[in-house]
Amino acid sequence: MIAQKDLIPVDNGGDPTKETFVLNLGPQHPAAHGVLRVLLTMDGEWIQRAEPVIGYIHRMHEKMGENRTWAKFLPNTSRIDYLSAMHYTHAFVGAVERAAKIEVPVRAEYARVITSELNRISSHMVWWGALLLDLGGFTPILYAFDDREKILDLLEALCGARLTYCYYRFGGLYNDVDDAFLKGTRDFVAHMKPRLKMYRELVTDNIILRKRLTGIGPLSADLCRRYGATGPVIRGAGVAYDVRRAEPYSVYPKLEFKIPTYPEADSMARYLVRMDEMEQSLFIIEQALDQIPTGPFIGKVPRVLKLPVGDTCYAVEAARGRFMVRIVSDGKEIPYRVKLRTPSFSNLSLYEEASKGMILPDALAMMGSLDLVIPDIDR
């Protein structure tokens, strides 16, 4: 809760040249994507203190997990971070499979990798367009959504949803990946490669963009570690931490890909990490398309799922970083506890410390480079 005293500016000791004011950024501000509110104590255009106020769309996902069956909670996970629903369902499904020791067919694992990586690209396209909007460039987002549309069409044909997918099921998939999807994905990879090259030439190498991101908002590896920042944020600080390699899951160990890191730790580094990640995702998809075997798409799952008593964790590399599900079962049909570790929450936590002394437009550029999704923070 915000106390009244927080809205009163810092005492300036009677010196009018040190006068500050509180700028209430959000929850309905065009730069905050969603209902994030940041209370900025400003000295002119310089930020003295930025306090994020969260919880405007808290939906009690963790509590909801405690009063419905394992299967019924599955659609909830895709609504936490609506932009990378595949990864989030993957984490929950993976946790349940690990606890119940359900075998997943190899074909299903490959299909999960393909759809997850497609989802990563679509999520990064939204981030890219939105960041450029934050920087005042209006055109890229329409190109980004054009590409994203192709992914959404593919996934819609596969599982019926365009945003909040519930494609992964315990032990496999909702339905098989058909030839039309595999061909469509190949076509998309062929389409996306020249597009990424075009974006690099037109946007990444633009001098105004470079000036606005290079050297802005440095987040050192130490700062990232203290606040638990993961994903492109910590990779942008030069740490090659990727859950797909650090805690291998699914068939990622069989696939080759690089973990893009940039030691500069500024907003440009985070930008470049995500741009490179999209290329790596395309590379992963190509390999998975080549390797995907035939066979069943769902394993043997008991009709009434009762997990053995125990405590299980499963982490995935979501588009924004490490998403982990911890489930505690007391042997009943309903979970005892579902703990969700979301990346955006940690990535936002460092904002207060990192934005100190920054000028307002730069602080907002840095916020854009963190790629926050508010439902992911509030849960």
Which residues are at the interface with another protein (CB under 8 A)? 21, 23, 29-31, 44-45, 132-139, 142-143, 146, 206, 208-209, 211-212, 359-362, 364
Write down the least CB distance from residue 357 to another protein, Å: 14
Measured at the CA of 233, the angle between CA 231 and CA 237, to 5 degrees, comes to 115
Helices (H), the chain: 61-65, 70-77, 85-100, 106-134, 140-159, 179-199, 207-213, 221-227, 232-235, 243-246, 267-291, 343-349, 351-354, 360-370, 374-378
- Identify which of residues 103 and 205 has a Cβ nearer to another protein in the complex: 205
Tokens at 180, concatenated: 């039309």
CA distances from 361 to 7, 55, 350 (A): 22, 24, 18
Write down the least CB distance from residue 236 to another protein, Å: 19
370: left (phi over 0), alpha (psi -120 to 50) or beta: alpha
Write down the least CB distance from residue 134 to another protein, Å: 5
- Identify which of residues 207 and 304 has a Cβ nearer to another protein in the complex: 207
Within 8 A by CB and 6+ apart from 308, the residues are 99, 100, 329, 331
Write down the least CB distance from residue 356 to another protein, Å: 18
- Identify which of residues 146 and 178 has a Cβ nearer to another protein in the complex: 146
- Identify which of residues 91 and 209 has a Cβ nearer to another protein in the complex: 209
Write down the least CB distance from residue 107 to another protein, Å: 37
Measured at the CA of 285, the angle between CA 342 and CA 160, to 5 degrees, comes to 65
- Identify which of residues 29 and 339 has a Cβ nearer to another protein in the complex: 29
Number of other residues whose CB lies within 10 A of the CB of residue 299: 15
Tokens at 41, concatenated: 């104590």
Closest CA to 130 of 260, 319, 353, 349: 319
Write down the least CB distance from residue 12 to another protein, Å: 17
- Identify which of residues 131 and 377 has a Cβ nearer to another protein in the complex: 131
Tokens at 32, concatenated: 């905050």
Write down the least CB distance from residue 31 to another protein, Å: 5
Closest CA to 48 of 348, 360, 347, 346: 360
- Identify which of residues 118 and 364 has a Cβ nearer to another protein in the complex: 364
Beta bridge partners of 303: none
- Identify which of residues 308 and 357 has a Cβ nearer to another protein in the complex: 357
Cα 24 to the center of its chain, rounded Å: 26
- Identify which of residues 105 and 140 has a Cβ nearer to another protein in the complex: 140
